[in-house]
Amino acid sequence: MAEPAPVLVFDSGIGGITVAREIRRLMPGLPLVYAADDAGFPYGAWQAEALTRHCTDVVVRLAGELRPSAVVIACNTASTLVLPPLRAALDIPVVGTVPAIKPAAERTRSGLVSVLATPGTVTRDYTFDLIRRFAPEVAITLVGACQLAGLAEEALLHGHLDPAVLAAEIAPCFVEKNGRRTDVVVLACTHFPLLAPRMAQIAPWPVDWLDPAPAIARRLRDVLLASGAATGEEGAGAPARALATTGRDLSAVLELLSAETLAISGAEAASSV
């Protein structure tokens, strides 16, 4: 019998693994291909037009080769641009990952929310639209972090993490105004949940770190059930593989799909002092 078509989970690097894990957890019987466009990493630094063209080309080419049942763009920086062209080019469902501003607005008590993202995501009309539609009453601080995605890759793959750089990157998220403090930080880049435990340790006060990955997995399940590409009775142990556009070996990353936690073990201070 022919293998069922896989779901293609796409990111610029290894951050999308935070989404792929949740998909795996929810639907362990779903074959999955994780694709990292590490040749284009980091996406946060690209101009919008060039990134739209590049990403659309890469995903359309991968979809032609892999014949997936659906594509998940596990990248906020790309999703805030490429969902319309991809949906026009592909005849399968395309699920995006965009800043979780709506749930953050529902969750905040102080009315101060920060959106921690790449420098690209915080300049997108898509992000401004989400704020206008879902958080008009909330004071949103947009924080475009230049180094965090690279820091997450380095920490996960090589165990190096400089806490001083991490602290400096997240510092603008913590706002105090009229006796109120930021209480929700949206992790609007799929790399950032990899660093969330460390961020929580060095944060000036406790906040909710909002990771949209479980919601993306549920959205994918609904879409697959609706399209008939999944029945919900697939069982477990479906194959998963990973590829990188540079051809680099991603087997270590693939192992994280079923690892107990994504804790960045051994990521000790590469001392900045």
User: Which residues fall in the annotated binding site for substrate?
Assistant: 11-12, 43-44, 76-77, 190-191
Separation between Cα atoms, residue 164 and residue 173, nearest integer Å: 15
Of 5, 2, 77, give the one whose Cα is nearest residue 228.
Answer: 5
Residue numbers belonging to the annotated binding site: 11-12, 43-44, 76-77, 190-191
Binding ligand DGL by CB under 6 A: which of 7, 10, 30, 43?
43
Q: Which of residues 240-269 bind ligand DGL (CB under 6 A)?
A: none
Give the contact letters, 141-170, x = binds to ligand DGL (CB under 6 A), - = no: --------x---------------------
The reply on whether position 127 binds ligand DGL by CB under 6 A is no
Of 262, 272, 243, 248, give the one whose Cα is nearest residue 11.
Answer: 243
Binding ligand DGL by CB under 6 A: which of 44, 93, 96, 144?
44
Report how far Cα 171 is from the mean position of its chain's Cα atoms: 21
Q: Where are the alpha helices (DSSP H) in the chain?
A: 17-26, 48-66, 76-89, 101-107, 125-134, 148-158, 163-170, 196-202, 213-227, 251-255
The reply on whether position 189 binds ligand DGL by CB under 6 A is yes
The reply on whether position 216 binds ligand DGL by CB under 6 A is no
Separation between Cα atoms, residue 115 and residue 39, nearest integer Å: 26
Binding segment toward ligand DGL, per CB under 6 A, in 39-47, 204-212, 219-227, 250-258: 39-47
Phi, psi of 244 (to 5 degrees): -125, 145
In 169-267, beta strands by DSSP E: 176-177, 180-181, 184-187, 208-210, 240-244
Nearer to ligand DGL by Cβ, of 189 and 229: the residue is: 189
Q: What are the catalytic residues?
A: 75, 189
In the complex, the residues that contact ligand DGL under the rule CB under 6 A are 11-13, 15, 41-44, 75-77, 118, 121, 149, 189-191
